[in-house]
Chain A
Amino acid sequence: DQQVKQNSPSLSVQEGRISILNCDYTNSMFDYFLWYKKYPAEGPTFLISISSIKDKNEDGRFTVFLNKSAKHLSLHIVPSQPGDSAVYFCAASPVIQGAQKLVFGQGTRLTINP
């Protein structure tokens, strides 16, 4: 049972344009959502997060949108740069005491073309 899905395994975008990565989830108990970026042979790097009380969060070139009714979140990168080429994972966690039990999507490989 895939609770967090990234349906696009790959995405190719021209440098300077907007990159939009999508993520869907099924568990209505998820309350905290994150995006991570991963280069080969490295651990994921945290990019941006959003809690369910918000529908948008911005940090520089990165914006995350959350649509709770559709159980959908997206990451916008504007403008896209060659260094953004990586695998992007969305993750979600329910509200619980103690540790976060993150559930990850399968990842989307983003390629930024010069």
Chain B
Amino acid sequence: SQTIHQWPATLVQPVGSPLSLECTVEGTSNPNLYWYRQAAGRGLQLLFYSVGIGQISSEVPQNLSASRPQDRQFILSSKKLLLSDSGFYLCAWSPQAFGQPQHFGDGTRLSIL
């Protein structure tokens, strides 16, 4: 069966520091991969998605970037964090075929001080 791992579970970072969140998927190959952010009291907002190694699409302008160095690895990064980057970050995967649901990791709670 497929599993998705996301770490760390919580992270406290000072303003201006760099960020690297990692997500890996097991038990499948060539998945679509996604990064979402959930602000307090809001729904999930799609930040980035990837349909293959090195292929990244950004959905909203922001201070973050994403990379996919391997088929089942998706990384969310920032060179300098802002206070507004605080939130709950979720990684998800789905099969390439249309009509299949996305499956989420357990998320990272990021607090910027």
Decide whether A and B assemble into one complex: yes
Number of interface residues of B (CB under 8 A): 29
A44 touches B104 (CB 8 A): yes
**Which one of A34, A43, A89, A104 contacts B101 once the chains associate, using CB atoms below 8 Å?**
A34
Q: Which residues of B contact A (CB under 8 A)?
A: 6, 9, 32, 34, 41-46, 49-51, 57, 59, 90, 92, 94, 96, 98-99, 101-107, 109
**In the complex, what residues of B have CB within 8 A of residue A86's CB?**
none
How near does chain B come to A109, taking the closest CB pair, in angstroms?
Answer: 10
We find that the number of chain A residues with CB closer than 8 angstroms to chain B is 26
Contact B106 A43 (CB under 8 A): yes
Contact with B along A73-114 (1 / 0, CB 8 A): 000000000000000010100010011111111110000000
From A13-21, A45-53, A61-69, give the one contacting chain B: A45-53
The majority secondary structure among interface residues of chain B is: strand
Q: Is the CB of B90 within 8 A of A107?
A: no
Asked whether any CB of chain B lies closer than 8 Å to the CB of A70, the reply is: no
Partner of B90, one of A4, A43, A101: A43
Asked whether B59 lies within 8 Å of A45 as measured between CB atoms, the reply is no
Nearest CB on B from A60, distance (A):
16
The 9 closest A-B pairs by CB, nearest first: A43-B104, A104-B43, A46-B101, A99-B49, A99-B32, A104-B44, A98-B51, A106-B43, A43-B106
The answer on a CB contact under 8 Å between B43 and A42 is: no
A101 neighbours in B (Cβ, 8 Å): 46, 49, 59
Q: A99-B49, A99-B50, A100-B32 are in contact. Are A46 and B107 (CB under 8 A)?
A: no
